[in-house]
């Protein structure tokens, strides 16, 4: 990456494709084997596999004017490499995934640590034994540590809602304290509801960690791409068999008939397969209702100083509208004067509001899963439609999980 904003570094080729299709629509369309909607990890990994291993012609349609989905990073006006859609730290225990992506990037080893402002002190998150010592008197901290280790063992993660079920008075006091000071308000801001209303799959992601390990993750492999995520994606897609149609809503150029399964592209029939990574309810025109999501607003600010805060990410459970502040230079180790931070403001997703119409997180509740199930069952009627990704499958995927999922889908559908 050359220090310029990658909105310029990655060319927008929409005009190029429109001019070709206007002249030779049938002949050009016949050259495409697969259309992939979305240039995030799910779509890009599948495109790379199909192009490099199967020698197939791929067209990726992407609504944004850049590749890399929510992982997109670029250099801001001051030359600081920032993540446009919030911090992304790659972590995994899956050697296959890590090595696969390692074919497209060099890695910069990075062990993520997070602090949270609690009662005027910045303590490690997830809450651990070091957090315990910072917040409580030596005698109480020692007693609580002993009980936690005896009850659960050492180096163990305990979901906060499970810890709250404790009958021991001291442990119950600790659980209620952590819940009130760290989980409840942060969750209310992040998800717009209480921890009890959220799927345990989500609340378990930030447990109480009976350990002195201050790292946010304990995976074997933890890193960020040495030259940024956008460059990683550019390398993934650097194949003559892959073409990009950026800055284009797929519905402007492609039609999927949810009754017959017929696909038309620029008004011409398309007989290949469609790999769809967008919102499943949108694909089927919200037939069974809208699936709810949470969205985010990001407020970037640059400072003419070497650093702004102690850690890459610092959480603010109370007294602030935003949930956390991220300072990117801690992560990238970029040597440059000045620093850029971003504050995150969670909000409900609203497809009709340009300020709220990016869906980041599916709301994993029973009624939403039932709604998704109707869409999923409908999608299974079409052999030439493949759904993959956080939005298409309405589930939470970390980056390593979605890469693993894309590789799995490739094996299932395209390897004979």
Distance CA 62, CA 244 (A): 8
Could you identify the residue written with the tokens 């074997």?
220
Task: Going residue by residue through the chain, which has 416 residues, state the pLDDT in tens, using 9 for 90 and above.
Answer: 333 344 444 444 433 444 444 444 566 788 899 999 999 999 999 999 999 999 999 999 999 999 999 999 999 999 999 999 999 999 999 999 999 999 999 999 999 999 999 999 999 999 999 999 999 999 999 999 999 999 999 999 999 989 999 999 999 999 999 999 999 899 889 999 877 787 777 766 679 999 999 999 999 999 999 999 999 999 999 999 999 999 999 999 999 999 999 999 999 999 999 999 999 999 999 999 999 999 999 999 999 999 999 999 999 999 899 999 999 999 999 999 999 999 999 999 999 999 999 999 999 999 999 999 999 999 999 999 999 999 999 999 999 999 999 999 999 999 98
Distance CA 341, CA 320 (A): 16
**Tokens of residue 22, six digits:** 């206007």
Which of the listed residues 210, 238, 260 is the one where a domain comes to its end? Answer: 210
Residues 206 and 246 in one domain: no
Residues 167 and 191 in one domain: yes
Instruction: Decide if 16 is inside a domain.
Output: yes
pTM of the model: 0.93
How much of the chain, in percent, has pLDDT values that exceed 70?
Answer: 93
Q: Are 227 and 105 in contact (CB under 8 A)?
A: yes
> Tell me, what CATH number does 59's domain have?
3.40.50.720
Residues 206 and 282 in one domain: no
Which domain range does residue 154 map to? Answer: 119-210
- DSSP secondary structure code for residue 70 in this structure: G
Residues 278 and 378 in one domain: yes
Quick one: CA torsion of 81, 391, 125, 200, rounded to 10 degrees?
180
Q: What is the pLDDT of residues 179-238, one digit of tens each?
A: 999 998 998 899 998 777 877 777 666 799 999 999 999 999 999 999 999 999 999 999
Instruction: Decide if 35 is inside a domain.
Output: yes
Residues 46 and 79 in one domain: yes
Instruction: Decide if 287 is inside a domain.
Output: yes
Q: Are 362 and 293 in contact (CB under 8 A)?
A: yes
Pick from 246, 254, 162, 164: which is nearest to 204 by CA? Answer: 162
**Tokens of residue 67, six digits:** 């590749």
Could you identify the residue written with the tokens 């009624």?
367
Q: Are 64 and 247 in contact (CB under 8 A)?
A: yes
Residues 229 and 377 in one domain: yes
Query: What pLDDT was estimated at residue 194?
Result: 79
Residues 128 and 175 in one domain: yes
Q: What is the pLDDT of residues 365-408, one digit of tens each?
A: 999 999 999 999 999 999 999 999 999 999 999 999 999 999 99
Would you call 95 exposed, middle or buried from its count of C-beta atoms within 10 A (0-12, 13-18, 19+)?
A: exposed
* Helix residue ranges per DSSP H, 136-256: 138-152, 160-163, 169-178, 185-191, 200-203, 229-236, 250-253
Residues 381 and 279 in one domain: yes
- Tally of structural domains, the chain: 3
């Amino acid at each position: 990456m050359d220090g310029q904003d990658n909105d310029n570094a990655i060319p927008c080729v929409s005009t190029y494709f429109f001019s070709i299709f206007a002249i030779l629509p049938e002949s050009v369309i016949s050259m495409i084997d697969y259309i992939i909607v979305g240039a995030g990890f799910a779509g890009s990994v599948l495109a790379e596999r199909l192009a490099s291993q199967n020698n197939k012609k791929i067209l990726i349609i992407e609504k944004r004017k850049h590749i890399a989905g929510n992982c997109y990073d670029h250099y801001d006006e001051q030359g600081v490499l920032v993540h446009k859609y919030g911090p992304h730290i790659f972590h995994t225990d899956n050697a296959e995934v890590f090595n696969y992506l390692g074919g497209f990037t060099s890695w910069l080893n990075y062990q993520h640590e997070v602090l949270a402002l609690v009662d005027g002190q910045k303590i490690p998150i997830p809450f651990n034994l070091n957090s315990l010592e910072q917040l409580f008197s030596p005698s109480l901290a020692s007693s609580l540590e002993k009980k936690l280790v005896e009850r659960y063992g050492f180096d163990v993660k305990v979901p906060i809602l499970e810890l709250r079920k404790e009958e021991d008075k001291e442990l119950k006091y600790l659980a209620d304290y952590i819940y009130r000071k760290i989980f409840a308000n942060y969750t209310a801001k992040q998800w717009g509801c209480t921890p009890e209303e959220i799927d345990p799959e989500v609340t378990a992601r930030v447990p109480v960690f009976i350990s002195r390990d201050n790292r946010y993750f304990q995976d074997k492999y933890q890193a960020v791409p040495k030259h940024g995520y956008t460059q990683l994606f550019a390398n993934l897609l650097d194949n003559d068999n892959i073409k990009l149609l950026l800055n284009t809503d797929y519905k402007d150029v492609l039609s999927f008939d949810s009754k017959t399964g017929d696909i038309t592209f620029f008004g011409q029939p398309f007989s290949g397969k469609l790999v769809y990574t967008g919102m499943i309810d949108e694909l089927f025109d919200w037939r069974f209702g809208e699936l709810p999501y949470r969205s985010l607003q990001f407020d970037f600010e640059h400072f003419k100083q070497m650093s702004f805060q102690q850690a890459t990410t610092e959480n603010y459970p109370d007294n602030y509208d935003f949930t956390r502040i991220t300072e990117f230079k801690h992560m990238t180790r970029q040597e440059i004067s000045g620093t850029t931070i971003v504050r995150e403001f969670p909000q409900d997703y609203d497809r009709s509001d340009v300020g709220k119409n990016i869906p980041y997180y599916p709301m994993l509740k029973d009624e939403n899963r039932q709604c998704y199930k109707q869409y999923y069952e409908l999608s299974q009627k079409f052999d030439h439609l493949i759904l993959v990704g956080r939005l298409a499958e309405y589930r939470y995927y970390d980056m390593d999980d979605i890469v693993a999922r894309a590789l799995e889908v490739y094996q299932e559908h395209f390897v004979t």
